[in-house]
Structures are given as C-alpha cells and as structure tokens.
Amino acid sequence: MSKRIDVHHVTRVEGHGNIVVEVENGNLTTCRFEVVETPRFFEAMLLGRPYHEASHITSRICGICATGHATASLRATEKALGVTLSEQSWLLRKLTFHGEILDSHILHVYMLVAPDFLGVGSVIPLVNTHPEVVLRALRMKKLAGDICAAVTGRHTHPIAMTVGGFTHFPTTAELESLHKRLVESRKDLDATVELFSKLSWPEFERDTEYVSLSKPDEYAYIDGDIVTTDGVRVPPERYKEVTNEFLVPHSTAKFTRNKRESLMVGALARFNNNYDQLHPKAKEAATALGMKPKVTNTFLNSAAQVVEIVHSTEDAILIIEKLLERGIQAEEPAPVTRMPGEGVGVADVPRGLLIHHYQIGEDGRITGANCIIPTNQNINNLEHDMRVLVPQVMHKDQEAMRLDLEMLVRAYDPCISCSVHVLTIK
C-alpha cells in the first residue's frame, strides 16, 4: 500500500504552502509542510527608515493581521523611545485589537473551516444551502471591520494608530452605535456557539508546549510576559529563550522549538494558559463546546477561536462603556522621551504570539529589526502533528486522507505570507 499526498498550494489559507506526505508499505516515509511563499525581507526593508514609518511598513506584512502587526510594531518603538500611553490610548488600542481578533476569527471559522464540515469547497455554495449561516457570518464580520474603521480608519492597514497614540478619534455617536450593534450581536454569538458545538471535530490528541502572553489583570493580547504550559515565564525582552529559531531547506519560513520538539501558539495556547481570565460568557461558550484546559486536540484551535469571539465581543462592550463614561478627548500623541533606544513589542494576534524588536539610532532611524511571526512558530508543531495524524488515517482512501491533512493545516489558521516576511538571524 503506497500513497502520496501532494497538495500543491493548500487552499483557504492565507499564503502559499504545500502538504507532501508519502506512505510506502504502510510506513510514513515523507511528511512535510512546505512553505513556498516568496520571501519578502521586511526586516531589511526597515533598515534606515524613520521610526514613525515602522508600523505603516510592517502592517503590510499581513492583510489579515495588519492591526496586530501595527500594534506590536508601535509597542516596540514606544518601549525603545520611552513613550507612555494615556489611558484613553490603551482603551482604543485594545478596542481596535478586539475588532481584528473578531474579524480574523470570524473569517477563519465561518469561511475557511466551516466548509470542510459542511462538505463543500468554499463558503459560496453555502449561500444557497445555509443562507442564514452565511448572512450571520457576513453581519458579524462587518461589525468587526466597522470597529477597526471607527478607531483607525480601516482594518487592513490601519491609518490613525501612531507612535504615542492616535491621529483621529471615534465620535461618541460612532461608539454608541458600535455598542448597540455589539449588544445585538449576542444572539449571533449564541447561534455561532451552537453551530460549532454541533460539529464533530476529528479525534486527535497530541500534547505540546503551548506558548502565549500572560498578564496579571486581563486575558492578555497586548504586552505581558511570555508564558508556556511547561512552566516557563519570561519578560518580552528575553523572547529568544523561548523562540529558538532554526531554518530548514523546504521552507522559506523559519521554525521554532523550546522545551520540546515543537511548540504551539494561537487561540488554543491562549485558552490553555489564560482560561481563568476569559469573560464568564466566554467560559460558558467553552463549556458548550466541551472544552476545559488543557485541551490537546489541535483541531479545537478553531473552537478556541469561537470562545475568543465571545470574549472579544464582551470585552469590547466593556471598553466602549468605559470610553463613553470618560468622554472621548482629541489627545496629542504622547511624547518620545529618549533617543536612541531599543525595544521589544509583543502582541498575541489572532494566530498567536507576535514579536517586533527594534533598535533605533540617534537620528530616529531604525538600525536593527527582528520580527517573530506566529505561523513560523506553529509550522514545526504542524509537521509533528502530521506525523501523529497520518498513521491514524492512512487506512482511508487518498482523497479522505488528503481532506484530513488539509483540515489539520487549516486548524492552525496559518498565515503563510506573514511567516516568510520577516525572519532574521543576527
């Protein structure tokens, strides 16, 4: 019995990746996830650029997590140059970040993952067979995009976020309207949790080291320590102790490993590390989805995203209430207090831990840059998962086996353009 699965460019993922699996006489002989995206060299592109351009350049690493890249980039610059954000700026940064988590997760679970479970090749046939599901997804996704648009002008490549704060502010009326729509969207959340709790997720277990940010006072998305389920806790500046990167010839993305052979970042890692800090309604959703930490079924990363959709909606409602209570002020960005400087910015973006590390010279130009991307950290773990999954499914016919492997890849919600865009060796 010999089989070769060669999915040249996996679809419904961001970027270009290939699955190559060979089984000969019942033995797994080849098992690779090849990243064939073109390298883009963002870190080198940053060299010599003025510090205020960094977030605009690096948001272009990824159209899906542009706000996440801008956030990590700004935090790196702000730490390097001694910039302290106001309370209002923090609330706005967090609000637009929730907008991106919602936008990205809704896109992933509804349009990229759900078609596999409903037996179709894309979301388009669902327009006829499951119109209420598609309309709900579109309605939720539009609201997410509108949150980002109100705060920063647009979701893909945010405009109004700058070093020290913002150059534009949402109006009270815009915030009130978003609040009303978020509250109304709770019925869509209930329907979402119900839909995904009925799916039969593939049975699969492989424990790994789950890595995320962690903060004492909230479910961490921006800033915090880097923690792992194997008991590691380091401040962002010591990120290299966790993200030991290495190169392999079949991938333009670098791989990472820490305590074990591989590690995993993303919604499931955050869920496993920070479950206690989820909003009570998000915990209810987790219960409905049959999840309690530590969850070691990789396919449930998509279910953890559903839990986070609930959390981000509820937290966005609370943030808007705070902003409305305080009243929105048109503030100047907080000042730069030192130059030169070096800083590490961290954000737990939709696909997991993102790190930007900059050195800025006396003239305000960038002299060194390093970015570590969630998908890079995950690809190595994905290959190890594939090695466990293939023997479990190799009795199936080629087509069914291919679908299982593709579903595993999609569970990671990989962002392959990101993964090759910024990798540095110093």
Specify the amino acid at residue 155: H
Beta carbon nearer to another protein, 15 or 345:
15
In the region spanning residues 367 to 386, those forming contacts with another protein, defined by CB under 8 A, are: none
Beta carbon nearer to another protein, 58 or 377:
58
Each as own residue / partner, the long-range contacts of residues 235-243 (CB below 8 Å, 24 or more positions apart, any chain) are 236/344, 236/345, 236/346, 236/355, 237/344, 239/344, 239/346, 239/355, 239/357, 239/372, 242/211, 243/353, 243/355, 243/372, 243/377
Q: Does 425 bind another protein (CB under 8 A)?
A: yes
Contact 97, 221 (CB under 8 A): yes
Report angle CA 130, 183, 331 to the nearest 5 degrees. Answer: 125
Annotate 59-106 with DSSP letters as a single string: GGG-SSSHHHHHHHHHHHHHHHTT----HHHHHHHHHHHHHHHHHHHH
Q: Which helix (H) or strand (E) segment is 368 a member of?
A: strand 366-372
Specify the amino acid at residue 263: L
* Strand, helix or coil for residue 273: helix
Q: Does 39 bind another protein (CB under 8 A)?
A: yes
Per-residue interface string for the shown chain with another protein, residues 82-111, x marking contact by CB under 8 A: -------------------------x---x
Token pair in block for residue 29: 């002989």
In the region spanning residues 230 to 249, those forming contacts with another protein, defined by CB under 8 A, are: 247, 249
Beta carbon nearer to another protein, 171 or 287:
171
Annotate 293-362 with DSSP letters as a single string: SSP--GGGHHHHHHHHHHHHHHHHHHHHHHHHHH----PPPPPP--SSEEEEEEEEETTEEEEEEEEE-T
| Nearest distance, CB of residue 58 and another protein, angstroms | 9
Beta carbon nearer to another protein, 253 or 291:
253
Q: Which helix (H) or strand (E) segment is 133 a member of?
A: helix 131-152
In the region spanning residues 59 to 78, those forming contacts with another protein, defined by CB under 8 A, are: 60-64, 66
Q: Does 41 bind another protein (CB under 8 A)?
A: yes
CB neighbour list of residue 307: distance below 8 Å, 6 or more residues apart: 267, 271, 278, 282, 285, 286, 289, 291
In the region spanning residues 113 to 142, those forming contacts with another protein, defined by CB under 8 A, are: 115, 121-124, 127, 138, 141-142
Beta carbon nearer to another protein, 28 or 160:
160
Beta carbon nearer to another protein, 116 or 383:
116
Token pair in block for residue 23: 């089984």
The closest of 359, 357, 334, 333 to 345, measured between CA atoms, is 357
| Nearest distance, CB of residue 47 and another protein, angstroms | 7
Question: Count residues contacting another protein (CB under 8 A)?
Answer: 61
Q: Which of 5, 14, 346, 413 binds another protein (CB under 8 A)?
A: 14
Per-residue interface string for the shown chain with another protein, residues 157-176, x marking contact by CB under 8 A: x-xx-x---xxx--------
In the region spanning residues 405 to 424, those forming contacts with another protein, defined by CB under 8 A, are: 417-418, 421-424
Beta carbon nearer to another protein, 159 or 388:
159
Write the burial class of residue 298 (CB in 10 Å: 0-12 exposed, 13-18 middle, 19+ buried).
Answer: buried
| Nearest distance, CB of residue 411 and another protein, angstroms | 16
| Nearest distance, CB of residue 165 and another protein, angstroms | 11
Contact 93, 104 (CB under 8 A): no
Beta carbon nearer to another protein, 28 or 138:
138
Q: Which of 153, 293, 340, 361 binds another protein (CB under 8 A)?
A: 153
| Nearest distance, CB of residue 317 and another protein, angstroms | 23
Give me the residue label for tokens 């290495």.
246
Q: Which of 3, 49, 181, 186 binds another protein (CB under 8 A)?
A: 49
| Nearest distance, CB of residue 45 and another protein, angstroms | 4
| Nearest distance, CB of residue 199 and another protein, angstroms | 18
Residues of the shown chain interacting with another protein in the complex, contacts defined by CB under 8 A: 9, 11-16, 38-41, 43-45, 47-50, 53, 56-57, 60-64, 66, 107, 111-112, 115, 121-124, 127, 138, 141-142, 145, 152-154, 156-157, 159-160, 162, 166-168, 247, 249, 252, 417-418, 421-425
